[in-house]
Amino acid sequence: MIFIKRKNIEREKHLRKKDVFKNIFLFLFLGGAFLFFFFSLAKFYKSSYCDRKLNGFKFAERKKISYFDEYSGKFLILYFGYTGCRSVCSIMMKKLADAYSLLDDKTRRIVRVVMVGLDPENDTPERMGKYVKSFNENFSWKLLPKKELNKVASALGIEAVVTGDGEIEHSSYAVLVDDRGYAELMFPVEMNSYEIASDIEKIVREKDGSIWSNVCVLLNSVDSINK
């Protein structure tokens, strides 16, 4: 009986020691995970933040005409410009192309960059296509009827004025529209490609719920450790 009791005492010491190491591991694991998710959720945006519904995006209203219906379920980066622009258009399009190449594969699959033409009278479909594709083969373009163009541009605060020499002075920022048709972020031309790419990935992670999916994976992992 004494031998059995001693054996049980040794076993209890071993189990207590094992529980201490397990608790330390769980504390460090959960602490690190908390910090990771905290900083993942933080909105350290370099761009301007906005949240408003665009009348030109009728993703949920299938019976109504929408010129962006083909992008339903995607995140859009809209840039308003024209092929004859001698100033900001090529600069911003190049930055968007570089930012797009910096995105991870998952984000790139659900993000579309679309240039909306501000000069439909002179920019033919062929001309727009050649211009936009010169920056990235995956980029798209839209030439909208004047009424629809004014509606969408107005909703986004885009201004465009034809000058005396035929140039179009226009707003130079790009806009990120989420998969519900809400304008979320505005990227000014002063931002660099790395900042743009970083903000795109932050808003996509926030909106698509991938972080909460990772939380579930984390909790399942903790549960398996406790078993």
Over residues 191-201, the pLDDT tens digits come to: 999 999 999 99
Minimal CA–CA distance to 79: which of 162, 161, 180, 160?
160
Within this chain, do residues 78 and 100 fall inside the same structural domain, yes or no? yes
Contact 90, 102 (CB under 8 A): no
Q: Kindly state whether residue 202 falls inside one of the protein's structural domains.
A: yes
Contact 79, 93 (CB under 8 A): yes
Over residues 167-208, the pLDDT tens digits come to: 899 999 999 988 877 888 889 999 999 999 999 998 888 876
Count of beta carbons in the 10 Å neighbourhood of residue 179: 17
Q: List the alpha helices (DSSP H) in the chain.
A: 2-41, 88-102, 105-110, 125-133, 146-155, 193-208, 210-226
pLDDT at 139: 97
pLDDT band per the 50, 70, 90 thresholds, residue 63: very low
Within this chain, do residues 36 and 55 fall inside the same structural domain, yes or no? no
State the pTM of this model: 0.69
pLDDT at 175: 92
Residue 44, classed as helix, strand or coil, is coil
Within this chain, do residues 67 and 154 fall inside the same structural domain, yes or no? yes
Mean pLDDT score, 61-88: 78
Q: Kindly state whether residue 168 falls inside one of the protein's structural domains.
A: yes
Q: Kindly state whether residue 52 falls inside one of the protein's structural domains.
A: yes
CATH of the domain at 157: 3.40.30.10
pLDDT at 153: 86
Q: Domain tally for the chain?
A: 2
Within this chain, do residues 167 and 187 fall inside the same structural domain, yes or no? yes
Within this chain, do residues 34 and 57 fall inside the same structural domain, yes or no? no
Q: Kindly state whether residue 90 falls inside one of the protein's structural domains.
A: yes
Give the domain range for residue 19: 2-42
Q: Kindly state whether residue 25 falls inside one of the protein's structural domains.
A: yes
Over residues 128-167, the pLDDT tens digits come to: 999 999 999 999 999 988 888 888 888 888 898 988 777 8
pLDDT at 60: 37
Within this chain, do residues 30 and 111 fall inside the same structural domain, yes or no? no
Contact 64, 58 (CB under 8 A): yes
